[in-house]
Amino acid sequence: MPDLRTTALADRHAALGASFTDFGGWNMPVRYTSDLAEHHAVRRAAGLFDISHMAEFLVTGSGAAAFLDYALAGRISTMKIGKAKYSLLLDENGGVIDDVIVYRTGDDDFLVISNAGNRARVADAFAARVDRAAEIVRAAREPAADGSFAFVVGAEKARVEDISDQTSLIAVQGPRAREIVEATVGIADVAPALADLGYYAWSQGTFEDGQLFVARTGYTGEDGFELMVSNALAPALWDALLEAGEPLGLVPAGLAARDTLRLEAGMPLHGHELSTEILPAQAGLGRVVAGDKDQFVGREALAAASVSLPVLVGIVAEGRRAGRAGYAVLDAAGEPVGEITSGALSPTLGYPIAMAFVPPTLAETDTPLFIDVRGTRIPATVTALPFYRRTA
Protein backbone atom coordinates (compact mmCIF):
# COMPACT_ATOMS: atom_id res chain seq x y z
CA MET A 1 0.00 0.00 0.00
CA PRO A 2 1.50 3.39 -0.95
CA ASP A 3 2.23 5.88 1.80
CA LEU A 4 -0.58 8.31 2.48
CA ARG A 5 0.02 11.92 1.61
CA THR A 6 -0.10 14.59 4.29
CA THR A 7 -0.99 18.27 4.15
CA ALA A 8 1.13 21.15 5.36
CA LEU A 9 -1.00 21.15 8.52
CA ALA A 10 -0.35 17.56 9.59
CA ASP A 11 1.69 18.61 12.62
CA ARG A 12 -1.04 20.99 13.74
CA HIS A 13 -3.65 18.21 13.58
CA ALA A 14 -1.48 15.81 15.55
CA ALA A 15 -0.83 18.44 18.23
CA LEU A 16 -4.60 18.94 18.57
CA GLY A 17 -5.10 15.22 19.19
CA ALA A 18 -6.82 14.44 15.90
CA SER A 19 -7.73 10.93 14.82
CA PHE A 20 -6.78 10.27 11.21
CA THR A 21 -8.20 8.32 8.29
CA ASP A 22 -7.32 7.57 4.68
CA PHE A 23 -9.33 9.88 2.45
CA GLY A 24 -8.55 9.86 -1.24
CA GLY A 25 -4.99 8.78 -0.53
CA TRP A 26 -4.45 11.46 2.11
CA ASN A 27 -3.99 11.05 5.86
CA MET A 28 -6.71 13.42 7.02
CA PRO A 29 -8.19 14.31 10.44
CA VAL A 30 -11.53 12.57 10.89
CA ARG A 31 -12.21 14.18 14.28
CA TYR A 32 -10.48 16.10 17.07
CA THR A 33 -12.89 15.68 20.00
CA SER A 34 -16.28 14.30 18.97
CA ASP A 35 -18.23 14.21 15.74
CA LEU A 36 -21.30 15.72 17.40
CA ALA A 37 -19.45 18.58 19.10
CA GLU A 38 -17.72 19.57 15.87
CA HIS A 39 -20.95 19.32 13.86
CA HIS A 40 -22.88 21.47 16.34
CA ALA A 41 -20.07 24.04 16.48
CA VAL A 42 -20.38 24.60 12.73
CA ARG A 43 -24.15 25.03 12.93
CA ARG A 44 -23.98 27.36 15.97
CA ALA A 45 -20.67 29.22 15.60
CA ALA A 46 -17.93 27.96 13.28
CA GLY A 47 -15.63 25.10 12.39
CA LEU A 48 -12.11 25.14 10.97
CA PHE A 49 -11.36 22.52 8.29
CA ASP A 50 -8.17 21.54 6.53
CA ILE A 51 -9.24 20.88 2.93
CA SER A 52 -5.74 21.04 1.46
CA HIS A 53 -6.22 17.58 -0.03
CA MET A 54 -8.40 19.13 -2.73
CA ALA A 55 -6.85 19.57 -6.19
CA GLU A 56 -6.36 22.92 -7.90
CA PHE A 57 -5.86 23.60 -11.61
CA LEU A 58 -5.14 26.92 -13.29
CA VAL A 59 -6.59 27.28 -16.78
CA THR A 60 -5.25 30.34 -18.55
CA GLY A 61 -4.86 31.88 -21.99
CA SER A 62 -7.07 33.49 -24.60
CA GLY A 63 -8.69 30.12 -25.35
CA ALA A 64 -9.31 29.17 -21.71
CA ALA A 65 -13.03 29.96 -21.61
CA ALA A 66 -13.70 28.10 -24.85
CA PHE A 67 -11.72 25.10 -23.63
CA LEU A 68 -13.66 24.93 -20.35
CA ASP A 69 -16.96 25.24 -22.22
CA TYR A 70 -15.96 22.08 -24.07
CA ALA A 71 -14.36 20.24 -21.15
CA LEU A 72 -17.11 20.88 -18.55
CA ALA A 73 -20.90 20.56 -18.64
CA GLY A 74 -21.62 24.15 -17.64
CA ARG A 75 -21.30 27.34 -19.66
CA ILE A 76 -18.10 28.81 -18.29
CA SER A 77 -17.47 31.51 -20.89
CA THR A 78 -20.32 33.69 -19.57
CA MET A 79 -18.99 33.81 -16.01
CA LYS A 80 -18.09 37.22 -14.63
CA ILE A 81 -14.70 37.92 -13.11
CA GLY A 82 -14.99 37.55 -9.34
CA LYS A 83 -17.61 34.80 -9.48
CA ALA A 84 -17.59 31.03 -8.96
CA LYS A 85 -19.67 28.29 -10.58
CA TYR A 86 -20.38 24.68 -9.66
CA SER A 87 -19.89 22.40 -12.66
CA LEU A 88 -19.40 18.79 -13.72
CA LEU A 89 -16.68 16.96 -15.60
CA LEU A 90 -18.45 14.25 -17.59
CA ASP A 91 -17.22 11.27 -19.55
CA GLU A 92 -18.37 10.36 -23.06
CA ASN A 93 -21.30 8.39 -21.60
CA GLY A 94 -22.52 11.36 -19.57
CA GLY A 95 -21.32 9.94 -16.25
CA VAL A 96 -19.72 12.20 -13.66
CA ILE A 97 -15.93 11.96 -13.45
CA ASP A 98 -15.98 14.70 -10.82
CA ASP A 99 -17.85 17.74 -9.63
CA VAL A 100 -15.79 20.92 -9.52
CA ILE A 101 -15.96 24.59 -8.67
CA VAL A 102 -14.68 27.06 -11.28
CA TYR A 103 -13.55 30.57 -10.30
CA ARG A 104 -13.05 33.23 -12.97
CA THR A 105 -10.02 35.21 -11.87
CA GLY A 106 -9.48 37.24 -15.06
CA ASP A 107 -10.61 37.64 -18.64
CA ASP A 108 -8.50 34.63 -19.62
CA ASP A 109 -7.81 33.09 -16.21
CA PHE A 110 -9.69 30.43 -14.25
CA LEU A 111 -9.13 28.34 -11.14
CA VAL A 112 -10.73 24.88 -11.06
CA ILE A 113 -10.93 22.99 -7.75
CA SER A 114 -11.69 19.27 -7.82
CA ASN A 115 -11.93 16.45 -5.30
CA ALA A 116 -8.76 14.92 -3.86
CA GLY A 117 -9.43 11.34 -4.93
CA ASN A 118 -10.15 12.42 -8.50
CA ARG A 119 -7.11 14.62 -9.07
CA ALA A 120 -5.46 12.21 -11.51
CA ARG A 121 -8.72 11.56 -13.36
CA VAL A 122 -9.36 15.27 -13.75
CA ALA A 123 -5.82 15.90 -14.93
CA ASP A 124 -6.07 13.05 -17.43
CA ALA A 125 -9.46 14.25 -18.67
CA PHE A 126 -8.20 17.79 -19.18
CA ALA A 127 -5.19 16.47 -21.09
CA ALA A 128 -7.36 14.24 -23.28
CA ARG A 129 -9.77 17.09 -23.92
CA VAL A 130 -6.95 19.31 -25.04
CA ASP A 131 -6.29 16.75 -27.77
CA ARG A 132 -9.97 16.24 -28.57
CA ALA A 133 -10.68 19.97 -28.66
CA ALA A 134 -7.75 20.29 -31.01
CA GLU A 135 -9.36 17.79 -33.37
CA ILE A 136 -12.69 19.60 -33.28
CA VAL A 137 -11.33 23.08 -33.91
CA ARG A 138 -8.35 22.02 -36.01
CA ALA A 139 -5.96 23.28 -33.39
CA ALA A 140 -2.65 21.90 -32.17
CA ARG A 141 -1.46 20.66 -28.83
CA GLU A 142 1.61 22.32 -27.35
CA PRO A 143 3.49 20.45 -24.61
CA ALA A 144 5.56 22.48 -22.17
CA ALA A 145 8.70 21.69 -20.20
CA ASP A 146 6.92 22.35 -16.89
CA GLY A 147 4.42 19.53 -17.52
CA SER A 148 1.48 21.81 -18.37
CA PHE A 149 -0.26 21.45 -21.70
CA ALA A 150 -2.14 23.65 -24.11
CA PHE A 151 -4.34 23.66 -27.16
CA VAL A 152 -4.14 26.40 -29.73
CA VAL A 153 -6.93 27.78 -31.88
CA GLY A 154 -5.24 30.06 -34.32
CA ALA A 155 -3.67 32.64 -32.02
CA GLU A 156 -5.86 31.58 -29.09
CA LYS A 157 -4.36 29.36 -26.44
CA ALA A 158 -5.40 27.62 -23.24
CA ARG A 159 -2.94 26.22 -20.73
CA VAL A 160 -3.71 23.92 -17.81
CA GLU A 161 -1.41 23.79 -14.79
CA ASP A 162 -1.84 21.56 -11.74
CA ILE A 163 -0.87 23.67 -8.71
CA SER A 164 -2.20 21.27 -6.06
CA ASP A 165 1.21 20.51 -4.57
CA GLN A 166 2.01 24.18 -3.99
CA THR A 167 -1.19 25.30 -2.29
CA SER A 168 -3.17 24.75 0.89
CA LEU A 169 -6.89 25.29 1.48
CA ILE A 170 -8.44 26.09 4.85
CA ALA A 171 -12.21 26.45 5.33
CA VAL A 172 -13.99 28.48 8.01
CA GLN A 173 -17.64 27.46 8.04
CA GLY A 174 -20.52 28.62 10.22
CA PRO A 175 -22.66 31.66 11.11
CA ARG A 176 -19.67 33.45 12.71
CA ALA A 177 -17.25 32.69 9.89
CA ARG A 178 -17.05 36.25 8.57
CA GLU A 179 -16.38 37.71 12.00
CA ILE A 180 -13.55 35.26 12.49
CA VAL A 181 -11.85 35.85 9.15
CA GLU A 182 -12.16 39.62 9.56
CA ALA A 183 -10.61 39.41 13.04
CA THR A 184 -7.67 37.23 11.98
CA VAL A 185 -4.32 38.94 12.54
CA GLY A 186 -2.19 38.93 9.41
CA ILE A 187 -5.04 39.03 6.89
CA ALA A 188 -5.04 42.37 5.07
CA ASP A 189 -6.05 44.21 1.91
CA VAL A 190 -9.02 41.95 1.18
CA ALA A 191 -10.98 43.29 -1.78
CA PRO A 192 -13.87 43.14 -2.20
CA ALA A 193 -14.45 43.32 1.55
CA LEU A 194 -15.97 40.16 2.97
CA ALA A 195 -19.12 42.04 4.01
CA ASP A 196 -19.68 42.90 0.34
CA LEU A 197 -18.86 39.46 -1.01
CA GLY A 198 -21.78 37.42 -2.29
CA TYR A 199 -22.14 33.66 -2.16
CA TYR A 200 -20.11 31.87 -4.84
CA ALA A 201 -17.77 34.82 -5.25
CA TRP A 202 -14.18 35.47 -4.26
CA SER A 203 -11.84 38.15 -2.93
CA GLN A 204 -8.09 38.49 -2.91
CA GLY A 205 -5.82 39.89 -0.24
CA THR A 206 -2.66 39.10 1.64
CA PHE A 207 -1.66 37.04 4.64
CA GLU A 208 1.63 38.04 6.19
CA ASP A 209 3.92 38.36 3.15
CA GLY A 210 1.98 36.17 0.71
CA GLN A 211 -1.07 36.13 -1.53
CA LEU A 212 -4.45 35.10 -0.12
CA PHE A 213 -7.44 33.89 -2.12
CA VAL A 214 -10.76 33.94 -0.21
CA ALA A 215 -13.86 32.30 -1.69
CA ARG A 216 -17.34 32.47 -0.17
CA THR A 217 -18.02 28.82 -0.82
CA GLY A 218 -18.27 25.68 1.29
CA TYR A 219 -19.59 22.18 1.80
CA THR A 220 -21.58 22.44 5.02
CA GLY A 221 -24.82 24.28 4.25
CA GLU A 222 -23.61 27.24 6.32
CA ASP A 223 -22.08 30.56 5.38
CA GLY A 224 -18.34 30.33 5.18
CA PHE A 225 -15.08 30.94 3.41
CA GLU A 226 -12.37 28.83 1.81
CA LEU A 227 -8.91 30.39 1.99
CA MET A 228 -6.07 29.41 -0.32
CA VAL A 229 -2.43 30.21 0.48
CA SER A 230 0.98 28.74 -0.21
CA ASN A 231 1.94 25.67 1.78
CA ALA A 232 4.59 27.69 3.59
CA LEU A 233 1.98 30.08 5.02
CA ALA A 234 -0.68 27.49 5.86
CA PRO A 235 0.41 26.66 9.43
CA ALA A 236 0.58 30.32 10.42
CA LEU A 237 -2.83 31.00 8.86
CA TRP A 238 -4.34 28.01 10.69
CA ASP A 239 -2.95 29.27 14.01
CA ALA A 240 -4.14 32.82 13.39
CA LEU A 241 -7.66 31.70 12.50
CA LEU A 242 -7.87 29.51 15.61
CA GLU A 243 -6.68 32.36 17.81
CA ALA A 244 -9.18 34.81 16.32
CA GLY A 245 -12.03 32.33 16.43
CA GLU A 246 -11.64 30.74 19.84
CA PRO A 247 -13.56 33.52 21.68
CA LEU A 248 -16.33 33.21 19.08
CA GLY A 249 -16.78 29.43 19.39
CA LEU A 250 -14.56 28.24 16.53
CA VAL A 251 -13.31 24.65 16.83
CA PRO A 252 -11.19 22.50 14.51
CA ALA A 253 -13.45 20.02 12.71
CA GLY A 254 -12.72 16.80 10.86
CA LEU A 255 -14.11 14.79 7.99
CA ALA A 256 -16.82 13.08 10.07
CA ALA A 257 -18.51 16.38 10.88
CA ARG A 258 -18.03 17.60 7.32
CA ASP A 259 -19.86 14.51 6.07
CA THR A 260 -22.92 14.87 8.31
CA LEU A 261 -23.05 18.60 7.59
CA ARG A 262 -23.02 18.13 3.81
CA LEU A 263 -25.59 15.30 4.10
CA GLU A 264 -28.00 17.53 6.01
CA ALA A 265 -27.47 20.17 3.31
CA GLY A 266 -28.25 17.61 0.58
CA MET A 267 -24.86 18.05 -1.07
CA PRO A 268 -23.60 15.12 -3.16
CA LEU A 269 -20.33 13.30 -2.52
CA HIS A 270 -18.48 11.74 -5.41
CA GLY A 271 -18.35 7.98 -4.98
CA HIS A 272 -21.75 8.07 -3.27
CA GLU A 273 -24.28 10.29 -5.06
CA LEU A 274 -22.02 10.92 -8.06
CA SER A 275 -20.00 8.53 -10.23
CA THR A 276 -19.38 7.64 -13.84
CA GLU A 277 -22.41 5.34 -13.57
CA ILE A 278 -24.71 8.23 -12.64
CA LEU A 279 -25.97 10.93 -15.01
CA PRO A 280 -26.38 14.52 -13.74
CA ALA A 281 -30.18 14.51 -14.03
CA GLN A 282 -30.37 11.37 -11.90
CA ALA A 283 -28.58 13.21 -9.09
CA GLY A 284 -30.80 16.28 -9.42
CA LEU A 285 -28.07 18.21 -11.23
CA GLY A 286 -29.63 18.56 -14.65
CA ARG A 287 -29.71 22.33 -14.11
CA VAL A 288 -25.90 22.36 -14.02
CA VAL A 289 -25.68 21.12 -17.61
CA ALA A 290 -25.81 23.71 -20.41
CA GLY A 291 -27.48 21.40 -22.90
CA ASP A 292 -27.74 24.12 -25.52
CA LYS A 293 -23.95 24.31 -25.96
CA ASP A 294 -22.80 23.14 -29.37
CA GLN A 295 -20.04 20.92 -28.00
CA PHE A 296 -19.12 19.44 -24.63
CA VAL A 297 -18.03 15.99 -23.58
CA GLY A 298 -21.05 13.81 -22.81
CA ARG A 299 -23.58 15.95 -24.66
CA GLU A 300 -24.80 13.27 -27.07
CA ALA A 301 -25.16 10.64 -24.33
CA LEU A 302 -27.22 12.97 -22.14
CA ALA A 303 -29.50 13.85 -25.02
CA ALA A 304 -30.22 10.15 -25.60
CA ALA A 305 -30.58 9.16 -21.94
CA SER A 306 -33.67 7.36 -20.68
CA VAL A 307 -36.08 9.26 -18.44
CA SER A 308 -36.84 6.08 -16.48
CA LEU A 309 -33.45 5.83 -14.75
CA PRO A 310 -33.40 5.89 -10.92
CA VAL A 311 -33.27 9.35 -9.34
CA LEU A 312 -31.84 10.70 -6.12
CA VAL A 313 -34.27 11.43 -3.28
CA GLY A 314 -34.12 12.40 0.35
CA ILE A 315 -35.48 9.92 2.89
CA VAL A 316 -36.38 10.42 6.54
CA ALA A 317 -36.88 7.37 8.74
CA GLU A 318 -38.64 6.64 11.99
CA GLY A 319 -36.85 5.94 15.24
CA ARG A 320 -33.13 6.45 15.80
CA ARG A 321 -31.53 3.75 13.65
CA ALA A 322 -29.98 5.27 10.54
CA GLY A 323 -29.55 3.61 7.20
CA ARG A 324 -26.00 3.66 5.85
CA ALA A 325 -24.51 3.61 2.37
CA GLY A 326 -25.36 0.33 0.65
CA TYR A 327 -28.43 -0.48 2.76
CA ALA A 328 -31.44 -1.55 0.71
CA VAL A 329 -34.48 0.64 0.18
CA LEU A 330 -37.78 -1.26 -0.03
CA ASP A 331 -41.16 -0.26 -1.41
CA ALA A 332 -44.40 -0.48 0.57
CA ALA A 333 -44.67 -4.18 -0.34
CA GLY A 334 -41.19 -4.90 0.98
CA GLU A 335 -39.55 -5.34 -2.44
CA PRO A 336 -36.04 -3.89 -3.00
CA VAL A 337 -36.22 -0.75 -5.16
CA GLY A 338 -32.86 0.93 -4.54
CA GLU A 339 -30.13 1.53 -2.03
CA ILE A 340 -28.90 4.28 0.22
CA THR A 341 -25.92 6.30 -0.95
CA SER A 342 -25.37 8.30 2.27
CA GLY A 343 -27.14 8.15 5.61
CA ALA A 344 -26.81 9.19 9.24
CA LEU A 345 -28.70 10.11 12.37
CA SER A 346 -28.90 13.86 11.78
CA PRO A 347 -27.20 15.74 14.64
CA THR A 348 -29.15 18.92 13.87
CA LEU A 349 -32.59 17.41 13.23
CA GLY A 350 -32.45 14.47 15.64
CA TYR A 351 -33.82 11.81 13.29
CA PRO A 352 -32.37 9.49 10.62
CA ILE A 353 -31.84 10.96 7.16
CA ALA A 354 -30.49 9.44 3.97
CA MET A 355 -30.13 9.95 0.25
CA ALA A 356 -30.93 7.10 -2.13
CA PHE A 357 -31.60 6.31 -5.77
CA VAL A 358 -35.12 4.98 -6.43
CA PRO A 359 -37.34 4.61 -9.52
CA PRO A 360 -39.01 7.88 -10.64
CA THR A 361 -42.40 6.37 -9.79
CA LEU A 362 -41.37 6.33 -6.11
CA ALA A 363 -39.69 9.74 -6.03
CA GLU A 364 -42.69 11.88 -5.07
CA THR A 365 -42.52 13.61 -1.69
CA ASP A 366 -44.32 11.67 1.09
CA THR A 367 -44.03 8.33 -0.74
CA PRO A 368 -43.84 5.60 1.94
CA LEU A 369 -40.80 3.32 1.85
CA PHE A 370 -38.75 1.10 4.15
CA ILE A 371 -35.04 0.94 4.89
CA ASP A 372 -33.52 -2.43 5.59
CA VAL A 373 -31.27 -1.78 8.61
CA ARG A 374 -29.46 -5.05 9.28
CA GLY A 375 -32.53 -7.15 8.67
CA THR A 376 -35.04 -4.80 10.30
CA ARG A 377 -37.46 -2.90 8.10
CA ILE A 378 -37.59 0.71 9.27
CA PRO A 379 -40.54 2.82 8.00
CA ALA A 380 -39.35 5.81 5.98
CA THR A 381 -40.72 8.58 3.77
CA VAL A 382 -39.45 10.42 0.72
CA THR A 383 -38.75 14.07 1.47
CA ALA A 384 -37.50 17.08 -0.46
CA LEU A 385 -33.81 17.95 -0.40
CA PRO A 386 -32.06 19.55 1.37
CA PHE A 387 -32.94 18.27 4.83
CA TYR A 388 -31.53 21.42 6.42
CA ARG A 389 -31.37 24.97 5.13
CA ARG A 390 -29.84 27.84 7.07
CA THR A 391 -32.22 30.69 7.84
CA ALA A 392 -29.83 33.64 7.60
Q: Where in the chain is the domain with CATH 2.40.30.110?
A: 306-392
pLDDT score of 63: 85
pLDDT score of 138: 47
DSSP code, position 320: S
CATH topology of domain 306-392: Elongation Factor Tu (Ef-tu); domain 3 (2.40.30)
Cβ proximity of 55 and 118 under 8 Å: yes
pLDDT score of 1: 44
Distance CA 229, CA 308 (A): 45
Q: Where in the chain is the domain with CATH 3.30.1360.120?
A: 1-269+286-296
pLDDT score of 128: 85
Nearest to 354 by CA among 343, 338, 365: 343
pLDDT score of 202: 98
What residues contact 290, with CB distance under 8 A and at least 6 apart? Answer: 69, 73, 74, 75, 296
CATH topology of domain 1-269+286-296: Gyrase A; domain 2 (3.30.1360)
Pairing of strands 376-383, 96-106: unpaired
pLDDT score of 148: 64
Give the phi and the psi of residue 31 in degrees, each rounded to 5.
Answer: -165, 160
Q: Note down pLDDT in tens along the chain; length 392 residues.
A: 468 999 999 999 999 999 999 999 999 999 999 999 999 999 999 999 999 999 999 999 888 898 999 999 999 999 999 999 999 999 999 999 999 999 999 999 999 999 999 999 999 999 888 766 555 544 445 556 666 655 544 446 788 999 999 999 999 999 999 999 999 999 999 999 999 999 999 999 999 989 999 999 999 999 999 999 999 999 999 999 999 999 999 999 999 999 999 999 999 999 999 999 999 999 999 999 999 998 899 999 999 998 899 999 999 999 999 999 999 999 999 999 999 999 999 999 999 999 999 999 999 999 999 999 999 999 999 999 999 999 86
Pairing of strands 311-317, 352-358: antiparallel
